[in-house]
């Protein structure tokens, strides 16, 4: 979809989770904005490390893969 949009000189703004969208926007030349539900789904914040915002911009994590860090202890506690 990003390539089709780029061919028509249009920006790309993926719909969905900011954990994935940030990487999609950073990987293309026509990435515009990252949609985020941060703060709207508080249960995520109990199990997943929050994204870093600096001066209004989302900072890509430096951890391997997509940079999603799961708090396994909190997840196991909630599963009980």
- Centroid of chain to Cα 61: 10
Average pLDDT, the chain: 85
**pLDDT the model gives residue 74:** 85
Region of poorest pLDDT, from 4-8, 40-44, 48-52, 68-72:
40-44
Identify the domain containing residue 44 by its residue range.
2-79
pTM: 0.72
Give CA separation, 59 vs 3, 55, 67, 69, in Å. Answer: 23, 10, 11, 15
Q: How many helices (H) and strands (E) does the chain have?
A: 4, 2
Q: What is the H or E stretch that residue 52 is in?
A: strand 52-54
What was the pLDDT predicted at 41?
A: 66
Total domains in the fold of the chain: 1
Per residue in 16-53, pLDDT (tens digit) is 888 888 899 999 999 999 887 767 766 677 788 778 88
């Amino acid at each position: 979809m990003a390539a089709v949009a780029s061919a028509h000189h249009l920006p790309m703004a993926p719909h969905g989770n900011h954990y994935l969208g940030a990487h999609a926007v950073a990987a293309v030349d026509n990435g515009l904005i990252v949609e985020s539900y941060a703060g709207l789904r508080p249960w995520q914040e109990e199990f997943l490390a929050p994204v870093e915002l600096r001066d209004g911009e989302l900072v890509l994590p430096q951890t391997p893969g997509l940079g999603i860090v799961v708090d396994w202890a909190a997840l196991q506690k909630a599963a009980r």
